[in-house]
Structure 1
């Protein structure tokens, strides 16, 4: 329970909201309504299939993800890298492409797959804690016969 007088709480809240608004306005315009283009890349393999994946490893990169993209080549995707394994949940706010998320264990094993509809706000979560999530155009994994239990290989994965 707070013991601040009501007017002090209101001034504090007003100052906090002003600070948040200022911080949001300081974000680059590209982060607000443009796709990310300057991310590092890594080559992954799913059997004989090569994937050219952009790496989203910072909080800001992961938050923006594939938002605002109008298209993406079939062999490309985005690998989201987290500091430690936890249950990861994704949604499609401001994402224009239908995607499939592969939730991946530390060794690259596909834990589960989730098809996601453009601009939908429902959550798609990993079946268990994971450190990696790979988003590809929807249907890519199915067309290549990649299912839970199969393993992707590449520099990020151990084992």
Structure 2
């Protein structure tokens, strides 16, 4: 039974995403979703200093499901911050995403819990292995280049608003 659970979860995820693609403008015809850039930068406090990123905030089910699908390019200092309603186990995949990505799994207090690499067009399930509240997607290799690793603290008004921490 335990061996079937990941396959069942992946199948359910595929069904939900397929339904949302048809309900999300632009995705059914293969166009990338582009959300407005949040006016506040997301800041990563690394051992080498602060690193600043512009982010699009995906905070509803349609935006999170579409994510960076069909996006072919993104600036090195740009990303997408996924915001979930509560701390929970979350899983991603890279189907319909031609660009390799770093997926940075973040706790409610802004602390990075895991950094994973997403391979283009893959249906492999990517998760932190523990519940998180946020996921930041950046171009592949950016996390390592900028010194973002487990324990790094991310600051952004959205994170501060959820956690009650200073932004």
TM-score, normalisation: structure 2: 0.76
Aligned pairs, how many? Answer: 137
Aligned twin of 1:7: none
Q: Which runs of 5+ in 1 are unaligned?
A: 1-22
Task: Call closer, same or farther: CA 1:64–1:150 in 2, change over 3 Å.
Answer: same
CA RMSD of aligned residues (A): 1.9
**What is the deviation of 1:99?**
0.1
Task: Call closer, same or farther: CA 1:87–1:25 in 2, change over 3 Å.
Answer: closer
Aligned twin of 2:107: 105
For the residue of structure 2 that corresponds to 1:149, the secondary structure is: coil
Aligned twin of 2:62: 60
Aligned twin of 2:14: none
Task: Call closer, same or farther: CA 1:154–1:122 in 2, change over 3 Å.
Answer: same
For the residue of structure 1 that corresponds to 2:41, the secondary structure is: strand
**What is the deviation of 1:156?**
1.8
Which of structure 1's runs of 4+ aligned residues deviate more than 6 A? 23-26
Q: Which runs of 5+ in 2 are unaligned?
A: 1-18
**What is the deviation of 1:82?**
0.6
Aligned twin of 2:89: 87
